[in-house]
């Protein structure tokens, strides 16, 4: 499927599949106060509603990327979509906090199958500058989820109830499944001549290694870091991570080929991802809570306040994705996080009584523009030197890092804010977010190459249609 019409179908399906996962993240945020009000709970419950999803999503992303490359993008996408619809209904019907958190964790399992496979569809279909433009469009249109999510979620919460925030996700899932019938089966399998293999040992070690420490970080704030409930998963998780690296070095068919990290763009892009997505998850969770709980405004207004972020990102993401494909990602990945940081610094103006439209909204606009400058170039940088056969696992590594970074940041919200969200606590959150974004900018400036021609050519040769495997010596030569 290489003709223009076929490429458009692939792009639409990839956008819609990712849209589902991103919509869930954005639509739930504005519903958190209503969830806690009905089911009973405080900031800890709100953290777990977010973190249960991110925990399984981040833990299983590598497994999903490996499945995508082994069994085919279309097959894995279809399974993920069906599972996501079922678990969304389960979350909507949950009668108590425990079952809601369980349903959210199962949603994360399903969502882990969606993002790597959808992005791998794009990198397997497009090459060169067209790939940069396609990734930019994917970034922009999946950003519609962040546009629709808060507004839809706020309206649902204020009218028919927060449970519909989960139920409404079934609609885009159904539309995507119908459109997928136009794709030619698993035409985008990574290596058609290779037998299907899944690194089961690596998958288990990765899941345990990520889930254990993150669980310990969250629960440690509630019960203390010296209890067995915290120490056991922490130790088991750290041991599993060490064992995972050792296993991946020696197994003939690794789930995460470690030579991916020999490429400068892949390694630096993932390091920049840590600071960027830790900041974004912490910031985007806190802003709607401030609007509702401190300013006393409705969930619908909270959705409106976050609207400029998505509008600006939607308008400019394709442009900056195209520019990064031509000129290289370094400039954009350096300047973009600094613009985003300036938006959060603006929010230090928040004072009682809170004037949301002056103290918050201008910062949200800067936040959105900085995001547009950064995200598509970051995605292009991470995948620019990766062959199509391994684009699924490369995308999964980057997405897993972003989810785990966000998960850890959200887990520390209570510590940063001081146990309860106040104006002073929000100021501390804003400062931490700005510092994280500054770190991401510094990593990109120091680590990425300044020549746009070389980065641009990488996108064409490394991730294009030639299908050449990543050479182990490429990363070393590029870093000199």
Q: Residue holding tokens 């950064």?
A: 374
Q: Residue holding tokens 């746009």?
A: 452
Token readout for 361 is: 């909204």
Phi-psi region of 72 (alpha: psi -120 to 50; beta: other; left: phi over 0): left
Quote the CA–CA distance of 305 and 359 in Å, as a whole number. Answer: 11
Closest listed residue to residue 103, CA positions, set 121, 85, 120, 129: 85
155, burial (CB in 10 Å: exposed 0-12, middle 13-18, buried 19+): middle
Token readout for 389 is: 């056969």
What is the reported pLDDT for 450?
A: 63
Quick: pLDDT tens for 2-61.
566 667 778 888 888 887 877 777 778 788 888 888 888 777 788 788 878 877 887 777
Quote the CA–CA distance of 10 and 57 in Å, as a whole number. Answer: 23
Cα end-to-end span (Å), the chain: 38
Q: Cα-atom radius of gyration of the chain, to the nearest Å?
A: 21
106, burial (CB in 10 Å: exposed 0-12, middle 13-18, buried 19+): buried
Instruction: Tell me if 14 sits within 8 A of 115, measured CB to CB.
Output: no
Which DSSP helix (H) or strand (E) runs through 242? helix 228-250
Closest listed residue to residue 397, CA positions, set 199, 55, 116, 127: 116
Instruction: Tell me if 288 sits within 8 A of 29, measured CB to CB.
Output: yes
What is the reported pLDDT for 185?
A: 60
What is the reported pLDDT for 278?
A: 93
Beta-strand (E) ranges in 171-297?
A: none
Verdict on whether the full-model pTM lies above 0.95: no
Quote the CA–CA distance of 314 and 473 in Å, as a whole number. Answer: 37
Quote the CA–CA distance of 26 and 64 in Å, as a whole number. Answer: 22
Token readout for 324 is: 């990064």
Quote the CA–CA distance of 287 and 306 in Å, as a whole number. Answer: 8
User: Which regions in the chain score pLDDT beneath 70?
Assistant: 1-6, 69, 128, 140, 142-147, 184-197, 388-389, 391-392, 419, 450-480
Instruction: Tell me if 11 sits within 8 A of 64, measured CB to CB.
Output: no
Instruction: Tell me if 150 sits within 8 A of 303, measured CB to CB.
Output: yes
H-type alpha helices, 73-199: 73-93, 97-111, 115-125, 128-142, 144-159, 163-167, 170-180
Distances (CA, A) of 90 to 1, 39, 94, 107, 136: 37, 15, 6, 9, 34
Instruction: Tell me if 391 sits within 8 A of 31, measured CB to CB.
Output: no
290-304: b (≥16 Cβ within 10 Å) or e: bbbbbbebebbbbbb
């Amino acid at each position: 499927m290489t003709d223009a019409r076929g490429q458009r179908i692939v792009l639409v399906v990839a956008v819609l599949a990712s849209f589902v996962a991103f919509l869930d993240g954005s639509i739930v945020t504005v519903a958190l106060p209503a969830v806690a009000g009905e089911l009973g709970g405080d900031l800890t419950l709100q953290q777990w509603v977010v973190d249960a999803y991110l925990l399984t999503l981040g833990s299983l992303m590598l497994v999903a990327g490996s499945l995508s490359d082994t069994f085919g993008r279309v097959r894995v996408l279809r399974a993920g979509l069906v599972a996501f619809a079922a678990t969304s209904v389960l979350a909507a019907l949950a009668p108590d906090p425990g079952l809601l958190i369980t349903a959210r964790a199962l949603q994360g399992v399903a969502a882990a199958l969606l993002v790597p496979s959808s992005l791998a569809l794009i990198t397997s279909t497009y090459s060169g500058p067209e790939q940069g433009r396609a990734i930019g469009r994917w970034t922009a249109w999946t950003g519609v989820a962040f546009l629709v999510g808060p507004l839809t979620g706020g309206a649902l919460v204020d009218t028919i109830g927060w449970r519909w925030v989960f139920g409404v996700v079934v609609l885009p899932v159904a539309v995507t499944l119908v459109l997928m019938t136009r794709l030619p089966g698993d035409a985008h399998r990574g290596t058609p001549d290779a037998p299907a293999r899944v690194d089961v040992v690596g998958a288990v070690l990765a899941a345990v290694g990520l889930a254990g420490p993150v669980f310990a970080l969250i629960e440690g704030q509630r019960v203390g870091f010296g209890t067995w409930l915290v120490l056991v998963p922490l130790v088991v998780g750290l041991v599993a991570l060490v064992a995972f690296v050792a296993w991946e070095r020696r197994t003939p068919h690794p789930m995460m080929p470690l030579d991916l990290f020999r490429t400068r763009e892949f390694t630096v892009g993932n390091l920049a991802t840590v600071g960027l997505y830790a900041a974004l998850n912490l910031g985007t969770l806190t802003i709607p809570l401030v609007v509702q709980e401190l300013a006393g405004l409705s969930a619908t207004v909270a959705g409106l306040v976050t609207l400029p972020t998505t509008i600006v990102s939607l308008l400019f993401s394709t442009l900056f994705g195209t520019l990064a494909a031509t000129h290289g990602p370094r400039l954009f990945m350096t300047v973009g996080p600094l613009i985003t940081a300036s938006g959060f610094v603006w929010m230090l103006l928040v004072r009682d009584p809170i004037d949301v439209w002056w103290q918050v909204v201008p910062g949200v606009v800067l936040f959105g523009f900085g995001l547009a400058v950064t995200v598509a170039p970051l995605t292009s940088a991470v995948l620019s030197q990766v062959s199509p056969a391994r684009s699924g696992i490369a995308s999964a590594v980057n997405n897993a890092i972003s989810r785990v970074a966000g998960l850890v940041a959200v887990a520390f919200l209570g510590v940063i804010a001081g146990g309860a969200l106040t104006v002073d606590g929000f100021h501390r959150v804003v400062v931490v977010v700005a510092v994280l974004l500054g770190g991401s900018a510094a990593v990109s400036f120091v680590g990425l190459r300044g020549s746009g021609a070389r980065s641009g050519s990488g996108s064409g040769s490394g991730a294009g249609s030639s299908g050449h495997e990543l050479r182990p010596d490429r990363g070393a030569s590029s870093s000199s």
